Structure 1
Amino acid sequence: MTFSGAGVVITGGGGGIGAAFARRFAAEGARVVVADLNAGAAGEVAKEVGGTAFTGDVATEDGVTRLIESARETLGEIDVYCANAGIAPQGGEDTPEDVWARAWDVNVMAHVRAAKLLTPRWLERGNGRFVATVSAAGLLTILGSAPYAVSKHGALAFAEWLSATYRHRGLKVQAVCPQGVRTAMLEDTGPAGDLLMGASAIEPSAVADALFAAIDEDRFLVLPHPEVADYYAARATQPDRWLGGMNKLQRKIEQALGDPS
C-alpha cells in the first residue's frame, strides 16, 4: 500500500513510538501532523520529517476537536489517525481516582473522541485508517500498574469494535501491541519494568516496521514481539495456569526488589 500524499496525524508524536511512526510515514511520502503535549518535542520531530507540529492535550474532548480541525486545515483530509499518546501510572486498586480517570481519558477516551469526529467522513468516502497503540498489556496484563492494564484492555476493545463494525465500509484498524520498547515510558517504570521487559525491549523503529508489515498484510493485530501471540493463546485457553505464572512473576519481582510482602 502506498501512503504518498496521505494525510497522517500522530498523537504522542514527540518521542518514542510516535516519533518512529512519524519518520516512517514521512519516509513513505505522507504529510504528517505531529501532536504532543510537549511543544518543543513536537516541533523537533515535525521539522525532522517535514511535517506540522500541534501542541495540546489530545485526551480531552476540546483538545481532540482542535487537533482534528487544525489537521484538516493543514492536510485537507485525514487518511490515517495514529492514536498513540499514552500514560502508564504505577499503582494498584488504591491508585487515586483522579489518576484512574486520567489514564482512562488518555488511553481510551482519546481514541473514542477522535473516532467520533473521524468516522463520519471516512464512512462517507469509504476509506480511512485508525491505528491504536494498545500495548501487549491490552492483550495480557501488566504487573505494577492496574490503571495501565485496565485502560489498555479498553483501548483494545474499542479498536476491535471499530473493526468489527466498520470493516465492510472501508475502515481499516490496526492495534499495535508491543511489550517493552526503549522509550521514556519504559525508563519511568524503574527496576520493576527493567526486570519485566528490559531484556526483550526493542527500539521504537522496530514497532514502526511491525506496523507497516501488518498494514501490508491487512492484519488487525500488530505484534512487534511475536511471542505475545503464544502468551495470548495461553491466557485464553489455560487462564488459571496463565494467572499462576503471572503471580509467580509477581513474587519474583517482590523478592528481587526486597518487598516485605
Structure 2
Amino acid sequence: MKTCCKFHIRDAAYRGADSRLRGASMAESLAQMTARTERFQQRSVPEEDIFGLAPAVRAKVEAGTGAWRPFYGSTVAYFLEPAARHLVDRVTDNLYAYCGDSLSARLPAESYHVTLHDLRSAEKLDDVASAVFLDTRRTGSMISTARDVGDVRLLCTSVFNLMNTSVAVGLVPVSDDDCERLHVARGLFDEIVPSGHFTPHITLAYYRPDATVPLTPALLSQTLETLTESVVGQTVTLTPALLRALHFSSMATYWDAGGA
C-alpha cells in the first residue's frame, strides 16, 4: 500500500486508513480481485439436478411465501445514484419475469446498494442490539473519513448466483486507483469488525425457500446468462454523499444510523 495518495483526500484521513491496511493481507490488487471473483461468478450455478438453497436464506426469507423475515443488524453501504438504480431495477424486472415465483418479495428500489463493510447481523435483536448501539458511537467519524476517499468507479461484470442465497450483479473497480480507494474506505471499518476478501456486488433478489415453483439449475443458469449480457460493461459510480452507516430490521428495511 502506498504511503502517500495520488488522489484528492485529506492526508490525515489517508494516513489513518493506510496504517490499518498495511497490516491487512486481504487488500487485493485489482488483478487479484478480478481473477478471484471470476472463478465463482462465471458458471456460478452448481451442476446438480435440484438447486439447493443455503440454510442461511431461511433466516431472511419466509418459506413458501417469500415474505421478509425479521433480521437485524448494521452495515456500511453506498446507495445507488439514479442511473444505476434504474439499471438495477430494469434487470430485476427481467429476473422476476423469468423466476419470480421462486424468489423472495422484491427489494424496494430505494434500498439497492453496494455494501462497503458488513458489521453486525442476527435473527434476534437482543443478540446484536448492544453491539450495534456501541458501534454507532464510532461509525459516524469513520463515515466522514471514508467519504474523503472520493468517488469509486465500478464495472459490472456479471449477474451471478451468490452462494445459493441470492442473485447479484458482480462488480470490480474500473482502475487500480479505484481499487485502492475502495480498500482504503473499507479498511477503516476493520477496526470494528475485521473483514476478509471483498466481493463488491448489488443484491437483486433472494431465493424463496420451499417455493411452490422450485427453481431449476437449468432455468437459473440461462437466466443469469441472459441478464449478464444486459449489464456487462456498464459502470456504477459510488459517490461519497451516498455512503451511509445503516441499521436494518430485514433485508428490505434499512435506515440511516446517523452520526455523520
Higher strand share: 2
The structure, 1 or 2, with the larger RCO (C-alpha pairs under 8 Å, 6+ apart) is 2
Q: TM-score, normalised by structure 2?
A: 0.22
Higher helix share: 1
Q: TM-score, normalised by structure 1?
A: 0.22
